[in-house]
Amino acid sequence: MEQKLQPGARLPEDAIGETFGTSRTIAREALGRLAVEGLVELKPNKGAYVANPSLEEALDTFMVRRGLECTVTGLLAGKLKPGEIDALNSFIEKEHSVSGVDDRESIRLAGEFHLLLARMTGNQLLIRYVTEVVSRCSLILAMYGRPHSADCGVDEHRQIVKALVDGDASRANELMDHHLASVAGRAMLEARQERDIRDLLAPYAARIKGL
């Protein structure tokens, strides 16, 4: 979600197990699950790699995401409970507070906003599909994305929530579709610096061990 692991990066089981303090078997099982979700590619006799989608696959993914998330807004428009509205407004304020301050957190929260909306539908299958496609889009943006202002995303999220609260499904769908089209439009190839996977995963391992 934070675009730290770049497409095509090798994912050695021993390094992952070592970083998280677990066995290679557990690491292998986790990579297998990620492969099912399309986030990892398992190559025979070579190991696991972060999926490396083509531009055509990237466009197809965003097309599917736009359809799924317009379904989400259609289900939620005019049906949000007071507590859900408060949760969404609080989340947007959190997004605003880190905008321009913490790029990594801004990226994570941008994806989490869409997952929060999906969870509010209560449709487990829709939640699953949205979760998978949002993760794939984060991977795609790590490959093709270019820098952008987080303020734009926060403002667009705020407008979407307003349309949902107002019960304007047509407006909410339009805003969501335009928002995701804008995200998909941030595409240009650029070189990314490679880093050792242990260094990349260490903060996440420390977070888990601290729970």
pLDDT tens by residue, 20-59: 999 999 999 999 998 988 889 999 989 999 988 888 888 8
Residues 39, 139 contacting (CB under 8 angstroms): yes
The pLDDT assigned to 136 comes to 86
Q: What is the pLDDT of residues 121-134, one digit of tens each?
A: 999 999 999 999 99
User: Long-range pairs for 86-89 at CB < 8 Å and ≥24 separation?
Assistant: 87/116, 88/116, 88/117, 88/161, 88/164, 89/161
Q: Is the pLDDT of residue 146 over 80?
A: no
**pLDDT band, very low/low/confident/very high, at 137 (cuts 50, 70, 90):** confident
User: For residue range 168-204, what is the model confidence (pLDDT) as tens digits?
Assistant: 999 999 999 999 988 887 654 333 455 677 877 888 8
- Tell whether the model's pLDDT for residue 85 goes beyond 90: yes
pTM of the entire structure? Answer: 0.73
DSSP letter at 6 equals P
- Residues 6 or more apart from 200 whose CB is under 8 A from it? 4, 5
**Residue pointed to by tokens 């599917």:** 64
